[in-house]
Amino acid sequence: EMKAKAIFAYTETGDTPRMIASFLPYCPIYALTHNEKTYRQLALCWNTTPILVKDKTKPNDIISKGIEIAKEREYVQEGDVVVIAGGASILSNKEFSNETMNRTIGGILKI
């Protein structure tokens, strides 16, 4: 109903994107992780594209960097509506245009 362009799922073990994939969403799932083993395992998950973020370890940083990488790879573009899923809060970030929006995991973000 939201016509989201993508779902970004922060994960350490891969459980979150695998669970989301089990619901067979229409939009692609981008699994954001810094764990190389999880990154390789998620390559086999339906409709899921893993994105490895090597230089970050905090969830907020991994999510921000993962969205940057997705934009560079042209998976998403400026102005797309995306869903964020995972296990921590996203703090206000200068990269996003709507600074007044409270961004929490499980929320919606317009990039």
pLDDT at 58 (0 to 100)? 82
Q: Is the pTM of this model over 0.85?
A: no
Q: Which residue, chain included where needed, has tokens 């809060």? A: 89
More confident residue, 46 or 104: 46
pLDDT digits (tens, 9 = 90+) for 28-52: 999 999 999 999 999 999 899 999 9
Q: CA–CA distance from 39 to each of 21, 30, 43, 47, 92 (Å)?
A: 15, 11, 7, 14, 26
> Has residue 89 got a pLDDT over 80?
no
Q: Which residue, chain included where needed, has tokens 């919606």? A: 108
